[in-house]
Structure 1
Amino acid sequence: MAKTSSKDLGTQPIGQLLIKQAVPASIGILVMSLNILVDTIFVGQWIGATAIAAINVVLPVSFFIAALGMAIGVGGSSIISRALGAENKPKALKTFGNQITLTFLFTISFAVFGLYFVDTLIPAFGGKGNIFDPAKIYYEIILYGVPVLGFVMMGNNVIRAEGNPKFAMYAMLIPSIGNLLFDYIFINVLDMGMEGAAWATTGSYIVSFLFILWYFLSKNSELKINLSHFKLNKTIVSEIGSLGFVTLARQAVVSVTFLLVNNALFNFGGETSVTAYAIVGRMMMFALFPVFGITQGFIPIAGYNYGAQQFDRVKEVIFTAIKYATLLGAIVFIGLMVFPEVITKWFTTDMDVVKVTPNNMRWAFAAVPIVALQLIGAAYFQAVGKALPALLLTLTRQAIFFIPLMYILPLFFGELGIWMSFPISDVLSTLVTAFFLRREVKLKLNKSVA
């Protein structure tokens, strides 16, 4: 695949460009999701079902801290894409330098905080009973690698903003493949148990960090920064913060949702229900990879053309992305509705878990075909630098609709009410997003084209 320069984002045909951007992103997400999927299978088969629940307990904490890097990466990348579109390279360079500084400041601080309060945080996130000890082992080792993971998440988004989806894909493939290799060595060969699973994940991200560092030091990157770019600039930091906060808020809500659902399900069905949710959560990461890939490919195209004031191209990429992602979401929906039992047995042979998971999976994915519009609509506002609507639309799906529903519906339907909350919140958030996106196209993009 040929290298795509930033200028190509404003000149190549939208359909061709979206495929060129989305395919590497989708492949990267697919392999990363397969990594998470297979990693969970390895842990379940080689360590036990309780280990799956233990990892699921730790995910909210590690996701939130790692999300700092992603938030800084997405927020800064929106600025970089628009700056490159407007031919303002000095601003792009300064933004990248500030991203690096912010990433290491925040991730190191939060890793220290997370390690200090380890015994408080793990039970709060559902790590109770037999789950506590393996969760603590996994948690502590994962947090050692959080600063490296933060840089990987940040750097990957910047690579994509430059118009180099192939290298962004490599940055996602390396830790995924590495983790599976390390899993086999540390868990199966060396019999290190939960410690092996944790070191496999941490070690794989160190390898990815080294690759991304090489990329930015090599001729492949347009962003050649010097020491002056690392000094924080108030205006740039504020813009990174406002846009990045959208991503951080989304990841924070994911973490809070894991916490609340883990605890609610534990109260209804104990460790079996928590394990079922862990399996469904892994499938959410895996099954939606093509939709997430199109969303990631969409963002730099929309941002660059918005910065270049080519609003007709912005409209075209919005509608093309929604069309492609909806079609792929429908295919995923069919597969999950037909084969949930087979999928569940990939993870565990525990018959209690196998019995309850398939029906729960069907409920959780019932509205998948329409989720594409919600994801791309929220991503549009972030790509073009409109932080407030991006934040509100990002929060609708889980914070505004899902969390209240998961407390209300169980009053009438018991544990089933928690699973019913997934599709209902998806439908409601998609309707809200469609309203705001339609208004944006009508008032801003159509008016600007005219």
Structure 2
Amino acid sequence: MSSRLSSRRTRAGAVLSAALVLGSMLVGTALSTQASAAPAPDVGIAATTFADEFNGPAGTPVDGSKWNHEIGDNVNNHERQYSTNRTSNASLDGQGNLVITARRENPGNYNCWYGRCEYTSARLNTIGKFSQTYGRFETRLKMSHGQGMWPAFWMMGTTGGTWPNNGEIDIMENVGFEPNTVHGTIHGPGYSGSGGIGAAYTGPRFADGFHTFTLDWSPNLLIWYVDGQEYQRRTPADLGGRTWVFNDRPFFIILNLAVGGYWPGDPNASTPFPNNLTVDYVRVTNTPGGGGGGGGQITGLAGKCVDVAGASNANGTPVQIYDCNGSNAQRWTRSGNQLQALGKCLDAAGGGTANGTLVQLWDCNGSGAQQWAISGANDIVNIQANKCLDVTGNNSANGTRLQIWECTGGANQKWNAAV
């Protein structure tokens, strides 16, 4: 979240979806031609190293075992907010979200670099509580909006000296005058501030709904995604001989909502206050997903791909098999125990656990309906149901629906997952 025009600022210290049960749910002849059921395979659970789902009563402060509050103003970026630890600026909403709220106010008579502060907001970090080298870092959130607003989900290196030598990775930044655009950027020695190296992704108006922002980080490679779609990757070759500071160094997480600054400019009369950044979750796993290619294919019966029907990301869209074609509807990434495509999760409809429960695409919500493990025997198992992902009726035709069924070891339950 570096200033685009100034030197770096100093640091202050560092449901279950009401899931749609499709009326077209197949029964009887739609069931697999299973023989006697075999025991479910022994499956491992992917290593989630950090997760905050922000579940708790409305008005609850953030979990102090995971997050620190940074307090104060920010002169080097010329941001205009005073960051506080008040629940009126950062608290849970009782619906599984963290809400960071920027307000036009000064209840504590705070002083900022420009005089008496005009705004309050919040900035959270995981210094001393969580840091990691490599992996997948992800958030799902609904953006703030309006001129002068500057939300960000980003990371800083814990070693290597002062900024920018320690490195910075901006997973997601948005400035209010670009409501349809987010930015991913790296900063290091010789490429910091306005000289940071990055790219922009243009999509929908991000304040109109929740979207998922992901970074896959491995040695000599950083990949950014929005809603499961890769839009940028960076390697040492992009630095023109300058130093790559993103190997073998832990980074901590920062989540904040700034008001004003060199890059976004100041709010104006059109900017709404209070102004919210609503965060569904922050999750980190210890290995990057996506197979290094913006999502990998999952192939099964007759060599066909797990496919989202019509490439639609609407809740309840059927998941099927189809000829592999390399489209985004067939690109799956792994986030913890979730399998994601088009920014949403593979989901057992209605949270069902019975044989024949159909599989669909749905907003990621962390429920058992969306928890999957991939075994060494190439089974994909719904952990809650202890049942396997299954091609209905052992039918290899394009458009055949997927369901969950007792694990039998049959060909219609075997998958090669490049995720």
- Common fold: TM-score over 0.5: no
Give the TM bin, normalised by the shorter chain. Answer: under 0.3
Q: TM-score, normalised by structure 1?
A: 0.26
Q: TM-score, normalised by structure 2?
A: 0.27
Q: Which is bigger in relative contact order (C-alpha 8 A, separation at least 6)? A: 1
Q: Could you say which structure has the higher helix fraction?
A: 1
Q: Could you say which structure has the higher strand fraction?
A: 2
